[in-house]
Amino acid sequence: MTTLLYLDDIAPGQVFERGSVTIQTRDIQAFAEKFDPQAFHLNEDAAKDSIFRGLAASGWQTVSITQRLLVEGAAPFAGGVIGAGVELNWPKPTRPGDTLSVRSEILDITPSRSKPDRGVVRMKVETRNQNGDIVLSMVGKMLVFRRPGQT
């Protein structure tokens, strides 16, 4: 079990890592059928003729896996992983058989002036496959709470 952290427990430069989730063809196709039904996510033959040159997971599926890994320890915040905005990039596709891991780094912390029980933490997040290739990069703002009674 990961120790959950409050705003006053973290500092810029702090790094958290979590892995791993392996994604298979059936996972990619099942997600795509429900949420992103494009041929390059559903059909291996059609995907060969796409920009991806093979089956690729939906970027939103990669985001979902990243979120899971953040919740499991790559953003171990008490009160949850609560997003307040994000800049998101997918430099490479996630492929069947990829094993993904997440690294997050605290960039800066801004305590709230109007709500002293919380602050906004800006984090850099990278999701990598087993070869070290970045398949998702983002800078996100997270709402993080202070320890109860610390305000």
What are the pLDDT digits (tens) for 17-69?
Answer: 998 999 999 999 999 999 999 999 999 999 999 999 999 999 999 999 999 99
Contacts (Cβ under 8 Å, ≥6 apart) of 130? 20, 98, 99
The CA-atom distances, in angstroms, between 128 and each of 15, 18, 27, 120, 136 are 15, 11, 18, 25, 7
Is it the case that residue 132 has pLDDT exceeding 90?
A: yes
Contacts (Cβ under 8 Å, ≥6 apart) of 95? 54, 55, 56, 57, 129
Convert the pLDDT of each residue in 80-130 to its tens digit. Answer: 999 999 999 999 999 999 999 999 999 999 999 999 999 999 999 999 999
Least Cα distance to 112 among 4, 17, 7 occurs for 7
Output 73 or 128, whichever has higher pLDDT. 128
pTM of the model: 0.94
Say what the pLDDT of residue 151 is. Answer: 62
Q: Which domains does the chain have, with CATH numbers?
A: 7-22+59-145 (3.10.129.10)
Say what the pLDDT of residue 1 is. Answer: 54
Say what the pLDDT of residue 19 is. Answer: 86
Say what the pLDDT of residue 3 is. Answer: 87
